[in-house]
Structure 1
């Protein structure tokens, strides 16, 4: 990922730093609607980043009420971690948002997945 900045008409291009990638991850996560989820892999694919890097960025989310990192799960529907109370809290929030449904199973059904790439018009 590259970062392009324009300052007084001067164009500057540089490789993305960790903070830049995290900013992009958090912006993408904020696009996931209530009742839907995306995967670490899907977000990573959009940014050209490893899914574990996406998870590291989400662990640094300082405002989980505004940036709903609980809506990011494993591509197989597994919940993954949650820095704000663990997987059981993540499951409770997703159940309230109706992304898990009423079952006791902790997996997210395929129809709850939201494709960020489609929203952004990305072929990735």
Structure 2
């Protein structure tokens, strides 16, 4: 399913979220308007490396960032592997891959310009 946030269409694999597409859209809208700082959605994490990285991403609080290296250290992995897993995140926004940044700046994101907007919305210091 696609959701729109800051005029950008983001694809979310709704098969990994227990709640309905309407509920996902409602919560994304509340997040965009600043009414919501945490998604109250049940995510089924894949039984894979990407799933492990997703679980680590989900633990990063609203308004905070971690580097790829910090996340990697927490799961006994490498920064590049974490970056690759972030790129494969099937439920962006809901599982906040935008909160993982390079040690020397923002880093890449599947939706150009959106990572900066999301971090600014959250008041995150990069």
2:124: which partner in 1? 99
1:48-99 CA-partner distances (Å, limit 9, x unpaired): 21101001101111111210100000123x000001x12x211111001100
- Note the C-alpha offset of 1:20: 2.4
2:109 is equivalent to residue 79 of structure 1: no
2:118 is equivalent to residue 90 of structure 1: no
Distance 2:115 2:122 in 1: 11
Give the gaps of 5 or more residues in structure 2: 1-46
Give the gaps of 5 or more residues in structure 1: 1-18, 101-107, 109-124
TM-score by length of 1: 0.61
Distance 1:28 1:62 in 2: 14
**Structure ID, larger Rg:** 1
- Deviation above 6 Å: which 4+ runs of structure 1? none
